[in-house]
Structure 1
Amino acid sequence: MTDQDSTRTPYVPNESVHPWRRFVAIGDSFTEGIGDPDPTNPGGHRGWADRVAEVLAAQVDDFAYANLAVRGKLISQIVHDQIEPAVALHPDLVSICAGGNDVIRPGTDPDAIAAQLEDAVTRLASTGAAVLLFTGVDTAFTPVFRGFRGKVAIYNENVRAIAERHDCIVADQWALKVVQDMRFFDDDRLHYNSLGHHEVARMVLRALNVPNDLESLQPEPLPIRTWREARGEDLGWAREHLVPWVLRRLRHQSSGDHIAAKRPEPSPILFPDSH
């Protein structure tokens, strides 16, 4: 089951229910929306941030949204390439989810990664904008990333401490149990699919205390597979996704090389009936 355009008609209250007029999203593939194809833009990606922006835009006048996130970026690249451009856009709401690509690399230190995040948050918070942070998802459910669960948990505790020090809003993926199910993930087993991004959007709106009518969507039942079929799928996944990922690491390449931000400037959200 997919949500298709089920969130294209967001909740519209009688009066403004949130204070924000300019939302800027910062980060990597998670915030860019990889895994969630945009049906209105062939080859484009939608993602949780677009979904949240649609709801926010429907509730206030003169709302604008920019998304500076680029897939594959490490936290140092996000800090270097996205923080000051985001500040220059004068947001009153800014989200930053960074460090995930660093945490899942062998030998990295979640405390050192968090120190870089705090530098970025300090700069963003100094503008007076509301800052939204994310904890990482609990990886216990996936064999591929289960080994990083401890590092993710340490990083999450740092994120919560940073949020406390800088009065940030926290969107808690670790507690979002519904997405700890591979049916909410794309074929690469790393990025959320449309259902996953939809659930993250619902979580973010709860964290922002914004009323909406996004409903929980149920995935299709898991197909019954034989052991041989399951192993065949694992081998296919390894060839198509794991091996290229490892090769990029060895070559010091990124999936985001030569990729530009999809919404570098704040612009209005255009709904299907917009002219």
Structure 2
Amino acid sequence: EEGGIAAVTSGHRAIMTPGAYCYLDSYQDAPYSQPEAIGGYLPLKKVYSYNPVPASLTAEQAKLVYGVQGNLWVEYIPTPEHVEYMIYPRILALAETAWSAPERKSWPDFHARALSAVADLQAKGYHPFDLKKEIGSRPESLQSVSHLALDKKVIYNSPYSSHYPAQGNTALTDGIRGDWTYGDGSWQGFISDNRLDVTIDMEKETSIHSVTAAFMQVVGAEVFLPETVVISISDDGTHFTELRNQHFEVSKETPIRFTDISWQGEAKGRYVRYQAQAGSEFGGWIFTDEIIVK
């Protein structure tokens, strides 16, 4: 929205079309259940939640926000029927957002009408997303997770990207799990040397039975699963004993994939180190949302 806000505050009209709400080429449901798309996750509810008039604008500036625009890029969309599938019913949510005062909007009411609209579109021969079969958000993202490393200090041996910081230095031990897209503010991204390398200070010697991190693959966005994972433990934060060192096959054959990579066993130590290295063939981003220690 930054460009639109800059335009309006300098006296120009603006059409709001931020990618987080208006790019309909993102997945609209759990990616594993959908035709291949460029990535992202933009369900109907999020489109409907958008308010195109930022709270930072004055009443006079708000008058210069002339509307919103939906965008559909078709490099992953080969047929007109697939276009309809990606547009409907999200374009209905965007239209109501554009034409309605925020205080008049009601998600439960709209959702019921959207279900009816989808049935009507299907009856007329269109090919909308079948809203009544919606899976919804990644289950892990719906509630926080409690574990031994919760709120513990994370030492970054390799920095996270400023473009995908999530909650910053607390992101990997705050109990918050990510949804179906790396851009949702809960997944932390690593591109420096194509690796994740962090050490968690458990504050005291701790008996540990498992260490787990989730990773995603979105081939179209050059986000890949790691090729090598090393999980280690230490008493002093300098000398580490490896608990798991494993090489994985990284392939583009599965465009979208989510997987947990864990160690399980018996160990004691104060410091837990997790390293994940991208492959030499594809490189790309590494994303994770939490390092769970139990």
The TM-score with structure 2 as length reference comes to 0.24
Specify which structure has the bigger relative contact order, considering alpha-carbon pairs within 8 angstroms and separated by 6 or more residues.
1
Q: Give the structure with higher Rg (CA).
A: 2
**Structure that is richer in strand per residue:** 2
**Structure that is richer in helix per residue:** 1
The TM-score with structure 1 as length reference comes to 0.26
